[in-house]
């Protein structure tokens, strides 16, 4: 009898350890869910997604007369084969959507366990409705969800490019906005990066898949770190306006995670800085060996989403290639970062 008792006491800790290991594996290694808030999903056209539907998928989401949502879901799924897809139907072909509807869809996606929410649509709205949507976006971000939105091509018909500051949820600081080098694409400093695709909707879906793939490698990665990492992997294209491609073009094959706290992109007339946390303050000064030849007029300002900019408003009078621009960035948490950019790297 004593032997049995001893065996029982030995077995119990083993069972507890195995249970703990199983729970750890479940919470840290199960498939990320990509929510696609759009026109639904037609499984008759994409049968390969049938076994990849996330728990909580509603029957009404499995119809798609427009076909747009199906294409977006398929694209995101292709970029993250281990991911589950949660189609959330919010619009019909030719129908309209209100900010309150989108807010409800975001909250539902969060409740169903989404780690990435793809929104390939944009809305206008009054202040009250936009406030409700903003609260839903902030709540999702605070719970570790990355919202990816397409820059789009305007809301009018025929399409006219519009500033993204007037389109939602793209105008919100917690949203990663994917643009396109297409001149018809909406524009603004809200754009984080661009992907070459047939539309910014398809580009956003690709970024959603890439982001979810990174979550698979690091389940605890924050939305800010994800956004920063994606920016770091872009290739700046100087002739393009930063208001159209953000930090540059992202290649879907580039999946190396971010390694540094601060990244910068130097253009002909400005340098943008990215951090994983929001930037509260920027500052600059010249650091030279020998005579500097005078200081060029510079302006600095902080932008949203962990971004800051130092901009040259007149041609440089400075000609000393040994000079460096010292950049000071202070985060909302009070952490101070200092980095240097060589003059020769700024003017190219």
The string of pLDDT tens digits covering residues 106-120 is: 999 999 999 999 999
Query: Mean of the pLDDT values across residues 321-328?
Result: 79
Round to whole Å and give the CA distance between 323 and 293: 10
Lowest average pLDDT, out of 11-20, 22-31, 320-329, goes to 11-20
- Which tokens is 179 given? 């643009």
Residues in contact with 27: Cβ distance below 8 Å, sequence separation at least 6, in sequence order: 219
Q: What is the tens place of the pLDDT at every residue in 131-188?
A: 999 999 999 999 999 999 999 886 665 567 788 888 999 999 999 999 887 777 787 8
Q: Is the pLDDT of residue 348 over 70?
A: no
pTM confidence score: 0.83
What is the reported pLDDT for 95? 58
> Which DSSP letter does residue 93 get?
T
Query: Mean of the pLDDT values across residues 24-47?
Result: 84
What is the reported pLDDT for 296? 58
Q: Which domains does the chain have, with CATH numbers?
A: 32-250 (3.40.50.200), 262-346 (2.60.40)
> Which DSSP letter does residue 163 get?
B
Mean pLDDT for all residues in the chain: 82
What is the reported pLDDT for 321? 66
Q: How far is CA 296 from CA 85, 321, 328, in A?
A: 51, 14, 17
Q: How confident is the model at residue 8 (pLDDT cuts 50, 70, 90)?
A: very low
């Amino acid at each position: 009898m004593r032997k049995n008792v001893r065996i029982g006491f030995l077995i119990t800790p083993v069972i507890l350890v195995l249970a703990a290991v199983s729970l750890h594996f479940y919470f840290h290694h199960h498939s990320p869910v990509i929510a696609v808030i759009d026109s639904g999903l037609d499984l008759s056209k994409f049968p390969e997604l049938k076994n990849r539907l996330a728990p909580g998928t509603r029957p009404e989401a499995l119809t798609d007369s427009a076909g747009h949502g199906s294409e977006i879901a398929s694209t995101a799924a292709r970029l993250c084969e281990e991911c589950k897809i949660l189609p959330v139907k919010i619009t019909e072909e030719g129908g309209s959507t209100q900010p309150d509807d989108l807010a409800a869809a975001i909250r539902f996606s969060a409740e169903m366990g989404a780690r990435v929410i793809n929104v390939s649509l944009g809305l206008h709205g009054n202040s009250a409705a936009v406030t409700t949507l903003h609260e839903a976006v902030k709540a999702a971000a605070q719970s570790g969800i990355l919202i990816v939105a397409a820059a789009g091509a305007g809301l009018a018909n025929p399409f006219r490019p519009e500033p993204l500051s007037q389109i939602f949820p793209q105008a919100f600081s917690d949203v990663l906005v994917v643009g396109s080098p297409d001149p018809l694409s909406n524009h603004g400093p809200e754009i984080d990066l661009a992907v070459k695709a047939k539309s910014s909707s398809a580009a956003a879906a690709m970024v959603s898949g890439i982001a979810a793939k990174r979550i698979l490698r690091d389940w605890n990665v924050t939305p800010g770190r994800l956004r920063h990492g994606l920016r770091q992997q872009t290739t700046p294209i100087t002739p393009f306006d930063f208001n159209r491609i953000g930090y540059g073009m992202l290649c879907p094959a580039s999946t190396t995670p971010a390694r540094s706290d601060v990244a910068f992109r130097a253009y002909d007339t400005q340098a943008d800085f990215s951090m994983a946390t929001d930037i509260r303050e920027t500052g600059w000064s010249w650091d030279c060996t020998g005579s500097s030849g005078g200081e060029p007029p510079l302006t600095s300002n902080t932008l949203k989403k962990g971004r800051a900019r130092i901009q040259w408003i007149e041609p440089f009078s400075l000609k000393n290639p040994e000079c460096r621009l010292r950049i000071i960035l202070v985060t909302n948490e009070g952490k101070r970062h200092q980095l240097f950019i060589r003059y020769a790297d700024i003017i190219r």
